[in-house]
């Protein structure tokens, strides 16, 4: 009897998910004759036993497509599944339902494609006795155990293009323009896109900023004849001795606190202190959408094909990661230890400082 594997995509969507689904499915069928199934909407499908068979033709032509053909969810945690009972949000453990569905379908291995939240859940499922392997996905590039995640390059390209377009209007109107990007605890997008887009001030979660220093830099540029400034700020950036800016609370989510709005708070503060016209732009879900870059298509294909080898070799309870451009196996225990943050002495931070970029500290 042919081995059966199943795939799910969890957490926020990003460019490159379909490329991984394609790579896993094609190699599994062509090289090993596996049967491949896809659970729909991430762990929601695993909880509710919603799945479909993936044939070779089902994944042909999806390499260039953004999003995920399987759907995803960032709310469905099998160990803390939220549902409404009247006006209240109740949480219950549905992990045994997941285990039953896994066993009932006679799955040999579950491929979990996602970020630290998805892979932390995968680790817990492995502890229950399920054969699980992981593929690192997130635009935030913050998964421990890998140098890079697919989806990151595509997001950086989108943000960089946005900053490029902001430059022309900032110059024309002599404004301070603030571009807010994703990054709850890790500032990888703000750092890389900010440097690539020529940002003047980059504010990231790892380096709490001093508002006075930000204002001083804006005024200094103005005095030197630079009649505009570009500030790139991660949503999780916060002032020294201050806290993050919360947009709203989603009670039925695994991560109920939703950040956002730091650019508008900061913009008002800068305008009041400098009397310079200030505008804010939130990149938001634009960072997640669209076709994957060539780099992400290649990386997704490499990760997807490697994970099939891990299944064949029974290397379960691990994630495929990237280190020094090579592929390695990373225990899910390591992934679950927390996010990979930007080091304050990261070489790119040093390079940025050396050309006059401020981090508000």
Active-site positions read 140
φ, ψ for residue 234, nearest 5 deg: -75, 145
Q: SS3 for 24?
A: helix
Residue with tokens 């571009």: 179
What's the 3-state SS for 260-321? CCHHHHHHHHHHHHHCCCEEEEECHHHHCCCCCCHHHHHHHHHHHHHHHHHHHCCCCCEEEE
* Listed residue (320, 300, 299) closest to 309, CA to CA: 320
- Determine the length of the chain: 361
| Strand-strand pairing, 318-323 and 132-136 | parallel
Rounded distance between C-alpha atoms, residue 308 and residue 346, angstroms: 33
């Amino acid at each position: 009897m042919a081995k059966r594997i199943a795939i799910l995509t969890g957490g926020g969507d990003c460019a490159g998910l379909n490329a991984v689904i394609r790579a896993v499915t094609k190699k599994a069928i062509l090289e090993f004759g596996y049967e491949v199934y896809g659970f729909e909407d991430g762990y929601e499908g695993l909880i509710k036993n919603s799945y479909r068979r993936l044939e070779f033709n089902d994944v042909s032509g999806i390499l260039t497509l953004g999003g995920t053909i399987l759907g995803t969810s960032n709310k469905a945690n099998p160990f803390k599944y939220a549902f409404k009972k009247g006006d209240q949000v109740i949480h219950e453990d549905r992990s045994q339902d997941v285990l039953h569905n896994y066993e009932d379908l006679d799955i040999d291995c579950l491929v979990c494609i996602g970020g630290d939240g998805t892979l932390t859940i995968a680790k817990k499922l492995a502890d229950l006795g399920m054969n699980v392997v992981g593929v690192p996905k997130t635009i935030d590039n913050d998964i421990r155990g890998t140098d890079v995640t697919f989806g990151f390059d595509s997001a950086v390209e989108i943000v960089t293009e946005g900053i490029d377009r902001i430059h022309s209007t900032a110059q024309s109107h002599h404004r301070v323009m603030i571009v807010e990007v994703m990054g709850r605890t890790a500032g990888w997008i703000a750092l890389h896109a900010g440097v690539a887009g020529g940002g003047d001030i980059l504010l990231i979660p790892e380096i709490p900023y001093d508002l006075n220093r930000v204002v001083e830099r804006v005024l200094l540029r103005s005095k030197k004849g630079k009649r505009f400034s570009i500030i790139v700020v991660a949503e999780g950036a916060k002032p020294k001795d201050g806290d993050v800016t919360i947009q709203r609370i989603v009670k039925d989510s695994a991560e109920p606190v939703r950040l956002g709005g730091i650019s508008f708070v900061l913009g008002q503060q800068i305008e009041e202190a400098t009397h310079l016209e200030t505008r804010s732009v939130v990149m938001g879900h634009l960072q997640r959408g669209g076709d994957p870059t060539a780099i992400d298509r290649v990386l997704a294909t490499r990760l997807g094909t490697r994970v099939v080898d891990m299944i064949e070799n029974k290397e379960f309870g691990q994630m495929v990661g990237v280190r020094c451009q090579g592929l390695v196996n990373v225990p899910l225990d390591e992934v679950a230890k927390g996010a990979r943050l930007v080091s304050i002495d990261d070489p790119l931070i040093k390079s940025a400082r050396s050309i006059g970029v401020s981090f508000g500290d």
